[in-house]
Chain A
Amino acid sequence: MRYAMVVDLDRCIGCRTCAVICKGHHAQPEGIWWNRVFVPGAPEYGTSVLNEEGQPRMEFLPVSCQHCDDAPCQSVCPTGATYTDENGVVLVDFERCIGCRYCMTACPYGVRQFNWGHAEPLPGTDGATYSYGYPAEYRQDGRLVYTPQRPEGVVEKCTFCVQYTSQGIEPACCAGCPGNARIFGDLDDPDSEISHYLEGRETFVLGEEHGTHPKVLYLKSTRGIEDASALLDAAGAGTAMGTDGE
Chain B
Amino acid sequence: MKKLMSKKQLGALVVALIIMAAGLAAWVAQLTTGLLATTNMGNVFCWGLLICMFAFCVGFGAGGQLASSYIVLSKRPELQRFALPAQAVGLGGAIGASVAIIADLGSPENILAMLLHLNVVSPLAWDMMALTFFIVSSVVGLVALARSWKSARAWMIVGAVAAVVLQIIEGMLFALLSARVWWHSVIVPVDFLMVAIVCGSALVLAMAAVSGHGGFVDAGVDSLRAARSLGKLLAVVIVVHVALALAELGMLAIEGTAASRATLDVIATYAPLYAIELGLPIVAAVLLLTRGGKAGAAEFGAASALAIVGMFAHRLMLLYPAFAAPTLFAGLSNQPSPEWAYPMSTGQYATMGDAFAMTQAYLPSVVEWASILLPIGCAIAVALIAIAATKALAK
A and B form one complex: yes
Beta-carbon contact of B343 and A36 below 8 Å: yes
Is B269 part of the contact surface with A, judged by Cβ < 8 Å? no
Segment from A114-122, A128-136, A162-170, A183-191 that makes contact with B: A114-122
Contact with B along A66-105 (1 / 0, CB 8 A): 0000001001111111000000000000001011111011
Other-chain residue from A36, A206, A210 in contact with B345 (beta carbon distance below 8 A): A36
Beta-carbon contact of B344 and A105 below 8 Å: no
Is A179 part of the contact surface with B, judged by Cβ < 8 Å? no
Residues of B within 8 A of A120 (CB): 349
Beta-carbon contact of A30 and B351 below 8 Å: yes
Residues of B within 8 A of A57 (CB): 332, 335, 337
Is A152 part of the contact surface with B, judged by Cβ < 8 Å? yes
Closest Cβ–Cβ distance, residue B173 to chain A (whole Å): 8
Beta-carbon contact of A105 and B177 below 8 Å: yes
Nearest B residue to A219 by beta-carbon distance?
B333
Segment from B39-47, B75-83, B138-146, B219-227 that makes contact with A: B39-47
Nearest A residue to B41 by beta-carbon distance?
A116
Closest Cβ–Cβ distance, residue B338 to chain A (whole Å): 7
Beta-carbon contact of B113 and A31 below 8 Å: no
Interface of A is mostly: loop
Beta-carbon contact of B34 and A31 below 8 Å: no
Residues of B within 8 A of A218 (CB): 333
Closest Cβ–Cβ distance, residue A67 to chain B (whole Å): 15
Nearest B residue to A117 by beta-carbon distance?
B36
Cα-based distance from A76 to B47 in the complex (angstroms): 15
Is A238 part of the contact surface with B, judged by Cβ < 8 Å? no
Is B6 part of the contact surface with A, judged by Cβ < 8 Å? no
Cα-based distance from A209 to B181 in the complex (angstroms): 12
Task: Given A30-B351, A61-B342, check contact A105 B179 (CB 8 Å).
Answer: yes
Interface size on A, residues (CB 8 A): 64
Beta-carbon contact of B178 and A51 below 8 Å: no
Contact with A along B160-176 (1 / 0, CB 8 A): 00000000000000001
Other-chain residue from B110, B338, B349, B355 in contact with A41 (beta carbon distance below 8 A): B338
Closest Cβ–Cβ distance, residue A173 to chain B (whole Å): 15
Other-chain residue from B34, B179, B344 in contact with A36 (beta carbon distance below 8 A): B344
Other-chain residue from A38, A59, A207 in contact with B343 (beta carbon distance below 8 A): A38
Cα-based distance from A154 to B124 in the complex (angstroms): 17
Other-chain residue from B44, B178, B346, B355 in contact with A210 (beta carbon distance below 8 A): B178
Residues of B within 8 A of A112 (CB): 43
Cα-based distance from A63 to B121 in the complex (angstroms): 28
Beta-carbon contact of A113 and B105 below 8 Å: no
Nearest B residue to A222 by beta-carbon distance?
B334
Beta-carbon contact of B327 and A108 below 8 Å: yes
Is B114 part of the contact surface with A, judged by Cβ < 8 Å? yes
Residues of A within 8 A of B42 (CB): 116
Q: A96-B117, A116-B347 are in contact. List 9 more A-B contacts (CB 8 A).
A: A38-B343, A40-B341, A59-B332, A76-B123, A78-B119, A98-B114, A108-B178, A110-B328, A221-B334
Which residues of A are in contact with B by a Cβ distance under 8 Å? 9, 29-33, 36, 38, 40-41, 49-53, 57, 59, 61, 63, 72, 75-81, 96, 98-102, 104-120, 152-153, 204, 206-207, 209-211, 218, 220-224
The 10 closest A-B pairs by CB, nearest first: A117-B36, A41-B340, A110-B344, A98-B110, A108-B179, A116-B36, A117-B34, A78-B124, A33-B345, A220-B333
